[in-house]
Amino acid sequence: MSVRVWGERVTRLRAALEEIAAGPANDDNDACDMVHCAERALALDGKAVDLTAIFKYRVDVREVHIQGIEVEAESEEAAIRAVQAGEGTFIDDALEYSHALDSETWTVDKV
């Protein structure tokens, strides 16, 4: 199951739990108990998921992009040196995704 689908299920469950908690409680099943039980009983592919242990994270993915830069030079080597020296003009709409670096280079922070 993809992370996106799993996240959508958790989001729908949380919305349902908030609706239950906002509704009137009865003598047999207090709304707070219902929320607690539903959180504990959420099953995903046969594994219990404790929603109180789910956190939000920001993952910074390291990517390689190709940026077009226009520069005047006498040769290809001179053009490269000029761009390395900060010369040239960025070409609009010339930024192109190439690939992501290995996940070992990514950073993760709890939000």
Enter the tokens of residue 62.
Answer: 């390291």
Quote the pTM value: 0.47
Considering 13, 32, 54, which residue would you say is the last residue of a domain?
Answer: 54
Is beta strand 107-110 parallel, antiparallel or unpaired with respect to 89-100? unpaired
pLDDT band at 9 (very low <50, low <70, confident <90, very high): confident
Mean pLDDT computed over every residue of the chain: 80
Q: Which range of residues forms the domain containing residue 87?
A: 59-110
Q: Are residues 48 and 66 in the same domain?
A: no
70-107 pLDDT, tens per residue?
999 999 999 999 999 999 999 988 899 999 999 999 99
Same domain for 46 and 63?
Answer: no
> Per-residue confidence at 50, pLDDT binned at 50, 70, 90?
low
Q: Name residues whose C-beta falls within 8 Å of residue 47's C-beta, 6 or more positions apart in sequence.
A: none
Number of domains the chain contains: 2
